[in-house]
């Protein structure tokens, strides 16, 4: 299996960042709060620094949750950019439930072409090349692993194909907003047997991509860095990530980096 060099860089960056994140996770850490009240830890900042150190040499501009955002007047001239969340699921990180990820995507002409999601607490790596229509999952023994070992252990991701009356919907077990409840109700009205499956962070995309759920309705705010890598992984296996606003795939490097609500499905 030949691998895109940019994908290789993103994988290496995610593993190094994941190793550092776990060092913070296993220590006593402080939590700060940003202007929008979202939490920030030393892990977010250090992971971001490590990822930047890998991506800056590619000379492709970077949109990261923890970088100062570049003005749209400049960004709109970018054909290609990295979209990064150094710790997706900081709230999960603070709760220490392990369901947080490193997200790195390469976006071209507004669409993700490569995506990497690393789950450092369990050393699970997902990566995808949309052009090749390939996405993989790898269970690792260490954050410090050779690229050859990653490739030999990689297993192709396959979403569900068989039709069934049971629909597994990705949602929150503890709190679902009214729009999501309405979506579930509409499936039940079609005679479907609905089961809710739950995960934190961008792992929700992975659940659908690896066949452990059928659909992921998102009726709550997300930013581009929350979704770009997950969208790449889903697109690579033939799943769509469709905006509820435009009825088209979610776009990236927009003037406003906030996503519309969306649906992940076949």
Residue (of 220, 34, 51) closest to 120 by Cα position: 51
Three-state secondary structure call for residue 214: coil
Residue (of 148, 105, 97, 153) closest to 125 by Cα position: 153
Write out the two tokens for 155. Answer: 């297993």
Q: Using CA atoms in the order 76, 250, 246, 66, what is the torsion angle rounded to 10 degrees?
A: -60
Quote the pLDDT of residue 39.
87
Quote the pLDDT of residue 247.
98
Q: Within a 13 Å sphere around the CA of 64, how many CA atoms are in the beta-carbon half?
A: 25
Quote the pLDDT of residue 173.
65
Residue (of 125, 105, 79) closest to 235 by Cα position: 105
| Structure confidence by residue, pLDDT tens digits, 224-237 | 999 999 999 999 99
Q: Using CA atoms in the order 243, 248, 252, 255, what is the torsion angle rounded to 10 degrees?
A: -80
Residue 255 per-residue DSSP state: S
Residue (of 220, 190, 217, 216) closest to 205 by Cα position: 216
Same fold, 5-156 and 166-265: no
So what's the architecture of 166-265 in CATH?
3-Layer(aba) Sandwich (3.40)
Three-state secondary structure call for residue 132: coil
Q: What is the pTM of this model?
A: 0.96
Quote the pLDDT of residue 3.
77
Residues of the chain with pLDDT under 50: none
**Residue length of the chain:** 266
Q: Domain 5-156 class?
A: alpha beta
Please state, in angstroms and rounded to a whole number, the distance separating the CA atoms of residues 17 and 21. 6
CB of 136 closer than 8 Å to CB of 143: no
The structural domains of the chain, with segments of one domain joined by +, span 5-156, 166-265
Please state, in angstroms and rounded to a whole number, the distance separating the CA atoms of residues 257 and 65. 10
CB of 117 closer than 8 Å to CB of 204: no
Residues 6+ apart with CB under 8 A from 135: 126, 127, 128, 129, 156, 157, 209, 233, 236, 237
Quote the pLDDT of residue 168.
96
Q: Angle at the Cα of 235 (from 230 to 241), degrees rounded to 5?
A: 70
Please state, in angstroms and rounded to a whole number, the distance separating the CA atoms of residues 43 and 53. 15
Give me the residues paired with residue 124 across strands.
119, 139
């Amino acid at each position: 299996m030949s691998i895109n060099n940019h994908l290789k860089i993103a994988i290496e960056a995610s593993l190094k960042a994941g190793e550092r994140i776990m060092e913070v996770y296993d220590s006593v850490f402080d939590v700060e709060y940003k202007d929008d009240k979202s939490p920030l830890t030393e892990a977010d900042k250090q992971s971001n620094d490590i990822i930047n150190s890998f991506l800056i040499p590619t000379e492709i501009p970077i949109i990261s949750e923890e970088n100062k955002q570049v003005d749209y007047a400049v960004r709109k001239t970018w054909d290609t950019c990295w979209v990064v969340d150094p710790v997706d699921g900081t709230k999960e990180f603070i709760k220490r439930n392990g369901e947080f990820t490193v997200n790195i995507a390469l976006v071209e002409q507004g669409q993700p072409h490569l995506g990497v999601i690393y789950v450092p607490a369990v050393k699970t790596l997902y990566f995808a090349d949309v052009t090749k229509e390939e996405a993989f999952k790898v269970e690792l023994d260490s954050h410090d692993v050779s690229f050859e070992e990653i490739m030999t252990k990689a297993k192709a991701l396959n979403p569900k194909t068989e039709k069934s009356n049971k629909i597994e919907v990705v949602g929150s077990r503890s709190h679902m907003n009214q729009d999501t409840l309405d979506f579930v109700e509409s499936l039940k009205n079609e005679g479907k047997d609905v089961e809710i499956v739950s995960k934190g962070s961008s792992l929700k995309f992975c659940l659908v991509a690896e066949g452990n759920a059928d659909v992921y309705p998102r009726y709550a705010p997300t930013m581009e860095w929350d979704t770009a890598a997950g969208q790449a992984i889903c697109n690579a296996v033939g799943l769509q990530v469709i905006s509820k606003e435009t009825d088209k795939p979610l776009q990236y490097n927009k003037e406003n980096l906030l996503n519309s609500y969306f649906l992940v499905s076949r």
